[in-house]
């Protein structure tokens, strides 16, 4: 592998081609719910990885878009490392036509460019650098992309766990924190749907015979919101409510959608149990809970922080100050960390506006990030 500064210059020299490829990736819209679009992207990327010397395999799924696994084979028997990303975005088909890919003010704009088409681009750049320099590492580099990360990775999770369990480290290409900081901690995520069943009645004639489901739901919402404890790192948020059929009817049904976040799996399970134990105020009403924990936290561990410090030292060699921090959002890196595999998240291209209309990346960060990932792979697989 080249010296750190030379490697950055190598990627800078190819920046024009990289941006052209990024435009193609952004134009290939891949909303989580659009299986045909995701499947086309997976096939396209399989060809791009194969052209860069990797063995690429599309992993079929009937429930969602197809996942992708590409492997750059090493020369030794060292346990592999994984570079982890996802194919899906939150943007429905047609968004690119309204808000096309654009380069201005040293930034690249477009739906999904930050989260995470630019992360996919970095993986292709690293794979190409390994081919161009004929660098044979002592173990494999696995590039793995789920197809439903934005909606919880329900179908991709078994595939991800099977691939990650054999790895010595996972480098997750989610966007970094502001200022380019890596993510060394993520909260766990859970959700519930609460359905309240009451007794319907005429609001004017038989009001006393009704059991108001909306009223019962309102009382439960107050209980739920009071479970937030910032000191413990727990938050509970009721984000959507529905109920009733007409203004002159005592409502017999109401529903709420509840999000909860937690710092440790122990806290998450305690919070989940506490929510399930809530009972109705009006004995004539019944509560039905559906859901629970869907993403574990990415907790700080000794091995995970050692991986960060290794990356920080390499970043310093190429002129980057790689900070670290935490976030309340979840990612597939949380799943790999829960397997006990050291995981460093937030290694994608610096930018801002994920899931927002002004989503963008900093173009100058692309060569540095590609160099960092390449050198970190070399260090981990000597």
Q: Which residue from 63, 315, 346, 38 is spatially nearest to 186, judged by alpha carbons? A: 346
- pLDDT at res. 133: 81
Q: What is the pLDDT of residues 102-114, one digit of tens each?
A: 999 999 999 999 9
Question: Distance between CA atoms of 81 and 71, rounded to whole angstroms?
Answer: 10
Strands 107-109 and 249-250: unpaired
Provide the residue-wise pLDDT of the chain in tens; the chain has 382 residues: 678 899 999 999 999 999 999 999 999 999 999 999 999 999 999 999 999 999 999 999 999 999 999 999 998 889 999 999 999 999 999 999 999 999 999 999 999 999 999 999 999 999 999 998 876 789 999 999 999 999 999 999 999 999 999 999 999 999 999 999 999 999 999 999 999 999 999 999 999 999 999 999 999 999 999 999 999 999 999 999 999 999 999 999 999 999 999 999 999 999 999 999 999 999 999 999 999 999 999 999 999 999 999 999 999 999 999 999 999 989 999 999 999 999 999 999 999 999 999 999 999 999 999 999 999 999 999 8
CB atoms within 10 A of CB 264: 16
Q: To 5 degrees, how large is the angle CA 212–CA 217–CA 223?
A: 140
Class of domain 4-186+297-380: alpha beta
Q: What is the DSSP string of 268-331?
A: HHHHHHHHHT---SSTT-EEEEEEEEEE--B---HHHHHHHHHHHHHHHHTT----EEEES---
Are 129 and 10 spatial neighbours (Cβ–Cβ below 8 Å)? yes
- Angle separating helix axes 118-132 and 4-13, nearest 10 degrees: 110
Q: Which residues of 150-160 are buried (b: 16+ CB within 10 A; e: fewer)?
A: bebbebbbebb
For residue 97, give the H/E element and its range: helix 95-98
Fold of the domain spanning 188-295? Alpha-Beta Plaits (3.30.70)
Question: Distance between CA atoms of 179 and 282, rounded to whole angstroms?
Answer: 51
pTM of the model: 0.93
Q: What is the pLDDT of residues 85-136, one digit of tens each?
A: 999 999 999 999 999 999 999 999 999 999 999 999 999 999 999 998 876 7
Tokens of 197: 């069943």
Question: Distance between CA atoms of 179 and 31, rounded to whole angstroms?
Answer: 27
Q: What is the pLDDT of residues 215-226, one digit of tens each?
A: 999 999 999 999
- Structural domain spans, the chain: 4-186+297-380, 188-295
- pLDDT at res. 1: 64
Are 102 and 133 spatial neighbours (Cβ–Cβ below 8 Å)? no
């Amino acid at each position: 592998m080249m010296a750190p500064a030379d490697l950055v210059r190598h990627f800078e020299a190819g920046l024009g081609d990289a941006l052209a490829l990024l435009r193609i990736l952004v134009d290939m819209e891949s909303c989580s719910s659009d299986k045909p679009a995701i499947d086309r992207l997976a096939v396209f990327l399989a060809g791009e990885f194969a052209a860069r010397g990797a063995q690429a395999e599309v992993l079929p799924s009937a429930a969602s878009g197809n996942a992708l696994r590409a492997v750059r084979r090493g020369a030794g028997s060292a346990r592999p490392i994984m570079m982890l990303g996802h194919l899906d975005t939150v943007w429905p088909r047609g968004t690119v036509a309204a808000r096309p890919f654009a380069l201005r003010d040293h930034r690249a704009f477009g739906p999904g460019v930050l989260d995470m088409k630019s992360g996919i681009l970095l993986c292709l750049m690293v794979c190409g650098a390994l081919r161009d320099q004929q660098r044979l590492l002592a173990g494999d580099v696995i590039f793995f992309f789920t197809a439903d990360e934005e909606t919880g990775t329900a179908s991709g999770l078994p595939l991800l766990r099977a691939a990650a369990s054999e790895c010595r480290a996972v480098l997750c290409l989610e966007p970094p924190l502001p200022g380019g900081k890596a993510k060394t901690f993520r909260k766990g995520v859970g959700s519930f749907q609460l359905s309240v069943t009451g007794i319907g009645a005429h609001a004017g004639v038989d009001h006393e015979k009704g059991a108001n489901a909306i009223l019962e739901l309102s009382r439960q919402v107050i209980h739920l919101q009071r479970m937030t404890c910032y000191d413990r790192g727990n938050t509970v948020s009721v984000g959507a409510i529905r109920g009733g059929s007409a203004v002159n009817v005592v409502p017999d049904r109401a529903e709420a959608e509840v999000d909860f976040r937690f710092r440790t799996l122990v806290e998450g399970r305690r919070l989940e149990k506490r929510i399930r134990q809530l009972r109705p105020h009006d004995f004539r009403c019944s509560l039905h809970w559906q859901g629970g924990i869907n993403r574990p936290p990415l907790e700080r561990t000794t091995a995970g922080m050692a991986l960060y410090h290794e990356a920080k030292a390499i970043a310093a060699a190429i002129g980057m100050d790689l900070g670290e921090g935490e976030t309340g959002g979840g990612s597939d890196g949380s799943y790999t960390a829960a397997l006990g595999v050291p995981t460093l998240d937030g290694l994608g291209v610096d930018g801002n506006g994920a899931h927002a209309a002004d989503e963008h990346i900093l173009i100058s960060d692309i060569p540095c990030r590609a160099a960092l990932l390449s050198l970190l792979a070399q260090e981990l697989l000597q």
